Amino acid sequence: MKLPKNAVIAVADGEKLNLYRNSGDEHAPTLTALPDVDVDTSNMGSGGRHQSSSANPSDSQQDEDSFAAGIADILNKRVLDGKIDDLIIIAAPRTLGELRKHYHKSLEAKLVGEIAKDLTGHSISDIEKALGAA
């Protein structure tokens, strides 16, 4: 996958978000970590309308869905504020599915690519390899 200069890469799962910027060029990307952001989980996401029950005994999935909705809110706001021109999202498959439900049309227009893989907690070189292989 070509990685435009200054593209933002969001690496996420249901509990963690890491943001990077490509400070290299399109053919030789160099990821630089961006400051951590606080994710607002008060948006219950699509999982919020499901109640815990014997069929769904854990609130952990609802928490992960809320976290994904919070990530989408952050990314949507940054796109709308003009802070992101090109965006790549790398997320655990279930998290990526939940994120997609909350994309603003402007974010969709800035989306260069998605990778359905959990790379949170991996090194920058692992993330660069995954981007190169995509």
Dump pLDDT digits (tens) for 69-111: 999 999 999 999 999 999 999 999 999 999 999 999 999 999 9
Specify if 103 maps to a domain: yes
Cα angle: 75, vertex 80, 84; to 5 degrees: 60
Contact, 120 vs 12, CB < 8 A?
yes
> Rounded to two decimals, what is the model's pTM?
0.86
Specify if 89 maps to a domain: yes
Give the whole-angstrom CA distance, residue 115 versus residue 96. Answer: 8
Give tens-digit pLDDT for 25-61: 888 889 999 999 999 887 654 444 445 444 554 567 7
pLDDT reported for residue 6: 96
Specify if 3 maps to a domain: no
Three-state DSSP class for 98? helix
- The domain containing residue 24 runs over which residues? 8-133
Specify if 1 maps to a domain: no
CATH code assigned at 98: 3.30.420.60
Q: How many domains does the chain have?
A: 1
pLDDT reported for residue 65: 87
pLDDT reported for residue 1: 85
